[in-house]
Chain A
Amino acid sequence: MAVRNIVETVAHTLREEMRRDSRIIVIGEDVAKIGGVFQATKGLLSEFGPERVIDAPLAESSLVGIAVGAAAAGLRPVVEIQFADFIYPAMDQIINEAARLRYRSNNGYHCPLVIRTPYGVAPGGGGGLYHNQSVEGMFCGVPGLKIVAPATPYDTKGLLIAALRDPDPVLFLEHKATYRAVSGEVPDEEYTIAIGKADVKREGRDLTVIAYGLMLHQALAAAEKLAKSHIDVEVVDLRSLKPLDKELICRSVRKTGKALVAHEDCLSGGIGGEIAAVIMEECFFHLDAPVMRVAAPDIPLAPYSRHLEEHVVPGRAALEKAMRELARF
């Protein structure tokens, strides 16, 4: 078993799957010659050649469009959108083509496409408005699309393999602040983690925190701190944002009676609202407090100024405060 960080795990898993399945191609800006700006496709060009590892022009709509066609024709394309902030030109291709091809063709075609993209704020990275966005809220209402957002190397490998073998389009979100900051043991053998399955990363009985990506790690750290005040927090890692693991979410909330949803995406229209609604519908009579949300305010993320960035991007301190409040309720 090797210890890898998340970006190494992405590169390693892509290589292994490309060796296994010659239909897999990688396409994106700077993915070939320089191995991706984050090095998530490092070494793929030299091993698999320019026919399978393709540098694309700065034209997201075209490169997703090409990939949709390739997928429909039998390949298994992996598109890298360099920063999630750059995905908007491809919205039409993702929503109108990839996500509804199976439905539109009455099951005649399908679109086994993986779109990988780094999202979220790299704290202190100075990325400003165009390199820090979280886009998941915008895609969660798109039928036909699956969305995953792993937070650990183990889950990254298992979910990436599952996404590569899925017959339908998967948006694969990688929090860029976890790329090198989060390491862990990754088994050498291949395994998959079912898309749509969440995971309890820490058991507790007083309240449930539901998070993913970088926020999961913040929640775990805050939970450790609260444990010193004898507040016993359960932390659920969503892993998949669509479909949601309603069963596990509700099992946890029924146990604790209190739920807090945390994401770095903006509050309004974020996935936290959807999860809160699910909890209200499915476990109302187990609730002992209103469902709380910790999220970014409804402003463009993130300010260039480091101090403003710290002020608006929710982190461990905001989580800890909300968790204490909920525990006290």
Chain B
Amino acid sequence: MITEITLPKLGESIVEGIIGRWLKKVGERVERDEPLVEVDTDKINTEIPSPVGGYITGLLVEEGQTIAVGTPIALIESDEREEQSDPALVTANGKSNGAVEPPRYSPAVRRLADESGIDPATVVGSGLEGRVTRRDMERAMEQAVEQAVEQAMEQKAMEQKAVEQKVARLFSGDEVIPLTSMRRHIAARMCESKRLVPHAWTMVEVDVTKLVAYRRAIKEEVLKREGVNLTYLPFVIKAAVEGLRAYPILNSQWDNDRIVVKKHINIGIAVDLNDGLIVPVIKDADQMSIIGLAQAVHDLATRARTGTLRPEDVEGGTFTINNTGAFGSIMSAPIINYPQAAIMSMETITRRPVVVGDGIAIRDMMNLCVSLDHRVLDGAVIGRFLRLVKNRLESFDASTPIY
């Protein structure tokens, strides 16, 4: 039997992928679960295993082509025994010596079939001798609704694409850069956030003189002992998760007509790549020490840059921290990583004159900027949150445990 292989769903919100490299040729044999093709998506690069064993009779998509999840990519002449045949027919066959009796359905199943328009013959039965049960029909109906919703969303997305017509006029010398899948994904996410979320913005300045001295004092030793470069980011994450614990409403999301406060504190960190950026997630960041955070940051950033993140590494974030200071920025207005409720950026640390008491001193100063979903949050709670984060950062010194 020829089995059609389609591009599987590879993770949350991934709707398409680029066929990287075929690992098998037409005519070659592939075993079940053996890697068949490399695929690049918005978030990850991965190998797709073959769902069946057999001989490849066709490769339907060329390398480098971008295709939607669910698109057929290959044909395999499967030599596995067919296991999921229609049990109702098998039973009827077995009983009637080859003459196929139409399967009988319970009144409940027939009612649901009438109401939903789903033919029970297309549903795999879990009942006695493969009978299609009411529960089977209910499940099939739920799936049909989900599919319909997905289709409607795809339809809407297609319509939207059609509306965004190209407006640039090309003159000689202009360069046209085709979109990578990551670029397109970032564009879609940013537009979605700006369209749906009423952003508000605020900033505080933090005196990190003591933290700067402390980090300078220990970073060599940390590098030697832990193998990680101790940056300011873990300290900022530490202060931020304490703030989130004190004000859990920041660790939440708007959900149509309600607000969902997330139990876990999962911090997304924006990692810049050559041709875009990705936001891997530190799960349960509030459970970690400063060194633990430093290692997590190092691990995720390294894997982001080598393209070895797993789908779960980029899922489940509840709050995002962006180290814009790394580019020398002293102030930025980040776009919320929707559906999260807030995002914080840490700006570059500058030495500048500051009024201390009645004098002027040279201090290491850093700005913290927060964009917030004003449906969920108001200025007052952000103010309290930032005051706590600021106080924590200003209190970090040689007495702060990093383990």
Contact = CB atoms under 8 A, between A and B. Distances in A.
Interface in B97-123: 106-111
B137 to A, nearest CB: 9
Contacts of A288: 106-109, 133-135
Interface stretch (A54-62, A208-216, A279-287): A279-287
B95 to A, nearest CB: 17
B127 A286 contact: no
A286 B108 contact: yes
Decide if the interface of chain B is mainly helix, strand, loop or mixed: helix
Nearest to B114: A285
B128 A328 contact: yes
Interface in A258-315: 284-289
A328 B126 CA distance: 9
A286 B128 contact: no
A285 B108 contact: yes
B131 interface: yes
A260 to B, nearest CB: 15
Nearest to B133: A288
A118 interface: no
Contacts of A289: 106
Interface residues of A, number: 9
A328 to B, nearest CB: 5
A284 B131 contact: no
Interface residues of B, number: 12
A234 B164 CA distance: 55
Nearest to B110: A285
Contacts of A285: 107-108, 110-111
A284 B107 CA distance: 6
A329 B109 CA distance: 13
A329 B127 contact: yes
A257 interface: yes
A237 to B, nearest CB: 25
Decide if the interface of chain A is mainly helix, strand, loop or mixed: loop
Interface string B142-175: 0000000000000000000000000000000000
A234 to B, nearest CB: 15
B131 A286 contact: no
Contacts of B127: 328-329
B108 A287 contact: yes
Contacts of B108: 257, 285-288
B109 to A, nearest CB: 7
A284 B106 CA distance: 9
B263 to A, nearest CB: 27
B106 A287 contact: yes
B107 to A, nearest CB: 5
A160 to B, nearest CB: 39
A288 B133 CA distance: 7
B111 A257 contact: no
A251 to B, nearest CB: 15
Nearest to A258: B134
Contacts of B131: 329
Contacts of A328: 127-128
Nearest to A287: B107
A139 B109 CA distance: 37
Contacts of B107: 284-288
A257 B110 CA distance: 13
Nearest to B106: A288
A257 B127 CA distance: 13
B131 to A, nearest CB: 7
A329 B111 contact: no
A241 to B, nearest CB: 27
A243 B132 CA distance: 36
A328 B106 CA distance: 14
B10 to A, nearest CB: 31
B234 to A, nearest CB: 45
A289 B131 CA distance: 11
Nearest to B105: A288
Nearest to B137: A288
A258 to B, nearest CB: 8
Interface in A314-329: 328-329
A286 B137 CA distance: 12
Interface in B303-318: none
Contacts of B110: 285
A218 B110 CA distance: 34
19 contacts: A257-B106, A257-B134, A285-B110, A285-B111, A286-B107, A286-B108, A286-B111, A287-B106, A287-B107, A288-B107, A288-B109, A288-B133, A288-B134, A289-B106, A328-B127, A328-B128, A329-B127, A329-B128, A329-B131
Interface of B: 106-111, 127-128, 131, 133-135
The 3 A-B residue pairs with the shortest CB-CB distance, nearest first, are: A288-B134, A288-B108, A285-B111
